[in-house]
């Protein structure tokens, strides 16, 4: 196969990365879990650790300079999402953003939740699924909408669920699934939710840098991001809140972030987040081509499993997933065993299932909701590429997997 990288020089199994290309002594194929800090973000944040360290709420000149830098970063992020600056709220991460969006929504507080109806995707990340389910304790009715067999939640299924309930007050659906990489039809889901007058929250954490995100085109009321998923720093989240969407703060204290989140702002992380998100947009086409090349090469290399009578199943159709994510199941092999074996070989991937020695293997809620047969669901592994991965990584991964599974 003729391999030529668009994003950076490609290495094959017969070559090794130069010292300037990889500092870690392992192969990282778990970019959906976290990404390294790109140099542009690192350089942007360094100034605010010492030279401009002031509290942005301070009234003096030094504080005002920091405040201006934060507002400039807010404007950059807003521009990347086609939002207004005053619609961008900074948090500590996606989990806080999603919790603020759900528990802070004025119709879902303890006194008003009774009798309200929420629809949430059965394949959502626990950071949004669990808060949605928690509202049932306040008297809300929560509907989990299952996906089709291809891993996407269809507008027809949301329509069916809402019509049966005869109401819909809140809907929470992700843009890209973090385990399978399947792109969800959010704009279509929004149309159904709006027909019932529902507020729509979108978890776009696994989508940032992988698909274009335009909050106006999507029509969402709220949308959450996490910086460390697109080569920004850990500890910084973003919540887009459309004008007119009523939220109450979950953290009380000062009047920071338009009164929605008290606490001194994490200036270095915010500045770096803006730099990383801007870079993701500028390099989108190059990154897409690079990851698509890796993904196609992986599919080609994985043909070796059939030749060795190793039974595998792809958990999401290639044409409906982002280029950086592949979910594959190995029949009758626990995913945790695969992850541990590969880790011992210096190859980092993620399990798409959770296994317990006490209760036996249990498929992840995402794979289970898709209706994947148990003998495959228990062996679901997620391989997610990043901008620093190379062809040689896939060669080494495939070789290690064949060595393990043939035994």
Domain holding 311: CATH number?
3.90.1150.10
What was the pLDDT predicted at 22? 52
From 255, 282, 309, the end of a domain falls on 282
CA distance 291 to 5: 9
- H/E segment holding residue 374: helix 374-377
- Same domain flag for 73 and 185: yes
- Verify that 289 and 378 share a domain, yes or no: yes
Q: What is the pLDDT of residue 406?
A: 86
% of the chain surpassing 70 pLDDT: 92
| Cβ count within 10 A of residue 295 | 21
Residue 36 lies in a domain: no
Do 322 and 210 touch, CB atoms closer than 8 A? Answer: yes
What is the structure's pLDDT at 363? 81
- Paired with 380 in beta bridges are 329
Of 44, 45, 134, 105, give the one whose Cα is nearest residue 239. Answer: 105
Q: Indicate whether 268 and 327 sit together in one domain.
A: no
Lowest pLDDT segment from 122-136, 150-164, 256-270: 256-270
> 112: pLDDT confidence band, cut at 50, 70 and 90?
confident
The single-letter DSSP state of residue 58 is -
Same-domain check for residues 274 and 296: no
What b/e sequence results for 392-401 when a residue is b if at least 16 CB atoms lie within 10 Å of its CB, and e otherwise?
bbbbbbbebb
One domain for residues 377 and 308? yes
Q: CB neighbours (10 Å) of residue 59?
A: 8
> Does 176 reside within a domain?
yes
- pLDDT of 353 over the 90 cut: no
* 179 lies in the same domain as 327: no
How many structural domains is the chain composed of?
2
Q: Where are the beta strands (DSSP E) in 163-215?
A: 170-174, 199-203
Q: What is the pLDDT of residue 324?
A: 96
- For residue 153, pLDDT over 80 is answered with yes
Q: What is the residue whose two structure tokens read 């992988």?
A: 210
Quote the CA–CA distance of 35 and 386 in Å, as a whole number.
7
pLDDT at residue 1, as a whole number: 40
Contact 84, 93 (CB under 8 A): no
pLDDT > 60? residue 109: yes
- pLDDT surpasses 70 at 6: no
Non-local (6+) Cβ contacts of 213 within 8 A are 80, 81, 175, 204, 207, 223
Report pLDDT digits (tens) over 26-51: 999 999 999 999 999 999 999 999 88
Check pLDDT > 80 for residue 79: yes
CA distance 218 to 201: 11
Residue 28 lies in a domain: no
In this predicted structure, the answer to whether residue 270 has a pLDDT above a threshold of 80 is: yes
* Mean pLDDT, the chain, whole residue set: 90
Split at pLDDT 50, 70, 90, the class of 169 is very high
Handedness of CA 224, 208, 343, 25 (dihedral sign): negative
Alpha carbon distances (Å) from 401 to 123, 345, 354, 389 = 27, 10, 19, 18
Distances (CA, A) of 89 to 55, 102, 251, 260: 17, 15, 13, 8
Active site residues: 355
pTM: 0.91
Flag whether 23 is in a domain. Answer: no
Last residue of a domain, one of 223, 258, 282: 282
- The pLDDT score that the predictor gives to residue 257 is 83
Q: Give the residue numbers spanning the domain of 131.
A: 41-282
pLDDT digits (tens, 9 = 90+) for 278-322: 999 999 999 999 999 999 999 999 999 999 999 999 998 888 999
**Residue 7 domain flag:** no
How much is the pLDDT for 285? 95
Indicate whether 206 and 145 sit together in one domain.
Answer: yes
Whether residue 185 lies inside any domain: the answer is yes
The residue from 231, 251, 282 where one domain ends is 282
């Amino acid at each position: 196969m003729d391999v030529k990288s668009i994003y950076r020089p490609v290495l094959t199994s017969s070559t090794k990365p130069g010292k300037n290309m990889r500092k870690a002594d392992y192969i990282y194929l778990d970019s959906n879990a976290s990404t390294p800090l790109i140099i542009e973000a690192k350089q942007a944040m360094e100034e605010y650790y010492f030279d401009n360290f002031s509290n942005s709420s301070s009234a003096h000149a030094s504080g005002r300079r920091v405040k201006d830098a934060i507002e400039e970063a807010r404007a950059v992020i807003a521009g990347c999402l086609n939002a207004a600056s005053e619609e961008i709220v900074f948090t500590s991460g996606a989990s806080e953003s999603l919790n603020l969006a759900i528990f802070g929504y004025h119709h879902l507080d303890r006194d008003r939740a009774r009798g309200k109806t929420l629809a949430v995707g059965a394949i959502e990340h626990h950071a949004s699924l669990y808060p949605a389910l928690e509202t049932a304790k306040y008297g809300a009715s929560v509907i989990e909408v299952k996906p089709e067999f291809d891993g996407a939640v269809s507008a027809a299924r949301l329509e069916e669920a809402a019509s049966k309930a005869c109401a819909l007050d809140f809907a929470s659906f992700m843009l890209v699934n973090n385990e399978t990489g399947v792109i969800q039809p959010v704009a279509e889901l929004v149309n159904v939710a709006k027909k019932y007058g529902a507020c729509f929250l979108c978890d776009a954490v696994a989508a940032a840098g992988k698909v274009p995100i335009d909050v106006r085109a999507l029509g969402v009321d709220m949308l959450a991001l996490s910086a460390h998923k697109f080569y920004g720093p850990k500890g910084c989240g973003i919540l887009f809140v459309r004008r007119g969407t009523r939220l109450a703060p979950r953290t009380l204290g000062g009047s920071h972030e338009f009164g929605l989140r008290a606490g001194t702002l994490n200036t270095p992380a915010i500045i770096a987040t803006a730099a990383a998100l801007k870079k993701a947009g500028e390099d989108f086409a190059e990154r897409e081509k690079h990851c698509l090349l890796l993904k196609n090469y992986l599919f080609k290399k994985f043909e070796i499993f059939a030749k060795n009578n190793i039974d595998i199943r792809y958990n999401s159709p290639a044409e409906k997933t982002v280029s950086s994510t592949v979910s594959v199941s190995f029949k009758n092999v626990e995913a945790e065993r695969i992850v541990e074996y590969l880790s011992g070989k210096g190859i980092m991937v993620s399990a798409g299932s959770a296994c317990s020695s006490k209760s036996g293997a249990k498929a992840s809620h995402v794979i289970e909701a898709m209706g994947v047969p148990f003998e495959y669901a228990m062996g679901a592994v997620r391989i997610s590429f990043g901008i620093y991965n190379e062809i040689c990584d896939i060669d080494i991964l495939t070789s290690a997997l064949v060595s393990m599974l043939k035994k």
